[in-house]
A = this chain, B = another copy of it.
Amino acid sequence: MNEELIKRATLHDVASLSGVSYQTVSRVINQHPHVAPRTRQKVLQAISQLDYRPNQAAKVLATGRSDMLQLIMYDMRYGDPLPPMLGAARERGYTLLISEINPLAAKEEIHKALQDVANRMIDGLIVFTPYQFIPYEEMREVCRDIPFVFVDTDPGFKAPSVIFDQRHGVALAVEHLIGLGHRQIAEVHGPPLHSDARIRHESFLTALAAHGLEPGPIERGEFVISSGYNATQHLLASDKPFSAIFVGNDRMALGALRALREHGLRVPEDVSIVGYDDMAEAAYFMPPLTTVRQNLSTLAQQSIAYLVSMIQDRTMPIQQRVLYPELIVRASTGPLTA
């Protein structure tokens, strides 16, 4: 009764049990046409009898394809894009594997990590890191012939990429504030190494300049809640007045709300606040946050679609697909009160 050592059934086991060749079994498994219904039946019967499961590693080795895509993220706690990415991949018949990489790590370490990924016989790679952490040519070299798409990287980056036009998003936010009468607009931006943070910051200055306005006080945060809190305290301590704050992401905006409240300032009566990202909680902040939403479903769809088309057609030209964000107006912004 010692069934410990029963080996997994292979294609050949199934073949000999059902009295056909291994090739025929392979055909049945891969849904090839040109298999007689009766034969197929026999094979399927043998498969279930032996509880046969095809060995993926062997398949990958033989075909050179794995039907797996890998998504590389820079921070797993920011999980919002994951469900749409998984969905988009699945829709196209791919399994999406997810892993993390630290874009601020030493160059060698990054290379090692990327090579590791590239060797795992993956059909394509999505690099979701708003850090310009590796040049295109270097990436090509590391990845060999594995196609990859950058997501959320710099505009104008000459590499396969899908991005949001954050300049546009920031302009929407700033114009909204200006439309409400605000002229002295402060800013809390994120870490400059973070592409999104840098672009949003630059766009903020550009947008103000386009309207002939000088920026109000500016502080730097790190995209985490506490840094938004601290930065806002610094804003309040500065002698430059302001009636609104543009905050680089929603998380920091949450910190900003607390700082203002502790200072006895009401939002939006005393200070208006605009965030960025429209995270799930933003609608439930006190008050609900006006913010810029980027449609992550679209982003995921486009990224996967682009990647898959590169897999299928190696001559696919490099392009940058640009998507547009939208402004979500809630209660954290209001007209300037004299």
Contacts and interface: CB of A to CB of B under 8 A. Distances in A.
A229 B280 CA distance: 14
B77 A121 contact: no
A20 interface: no
A83 B79 contact: no
Interface residues of A, number: 46
B57 A280 contact: no
A181 to B, nearest CB: 26
Contact of A99 (B53, B97, B121): B97
Copies of this chain in the oligomer: 2
A115 B95 CA distance: 13
A74 to B, nearest CB: 11
Interface string A277-297: 000110110100000000000
A58 B57 CA distance: 7
A224 to B, nearest CB: 8
Interface string A251-294: 10011011001000000000000000000110110100000000
A336 interface: no
A167 B86 CA distance: 34
A66 B56 CA distance: 12
Interface string A86-120: 10000000011111100000000000000110111
Nearest to A68: B120
A76 B82 contact: yes
A78 B79 contact: yes
A61 interface: yes
Nearest to A84: B76
A327 B255 CA distance: 23
A225 interface: yes
Contact of A286 (B60, B225, B261): B261
A12 interface: no
A45 interface: no
A272 B58 CA distance: 59
A41 interface: no
Interface string A232-253: 0000000000000000000100
A64 to B, nearest CB: 9
Interface in A16-62: 53-58, 60-61
B80 A118 contact: no
Contacts of A281: 225, 251, 254, 281
Given A83-B76, A280-B225, A116 B95 contact: yes
A144 interface: yes
B66 A57 contact: yes
A123 B26 CA distance: 25
User: Which residue among A55, A98, A119, A251 has the maximum number of chain B CB atoms within 10 Å of its CB?
Assistant: A98
16 contacts: A8-B144, A53-B115, A53-B144, A56-B119, A61-B61, A75-B83, A76-B79, A76-B83, A76-B86, A83-B100, A86-B100, A97-B99, A98-B98, A225-B281, A225-B284, A257-B284
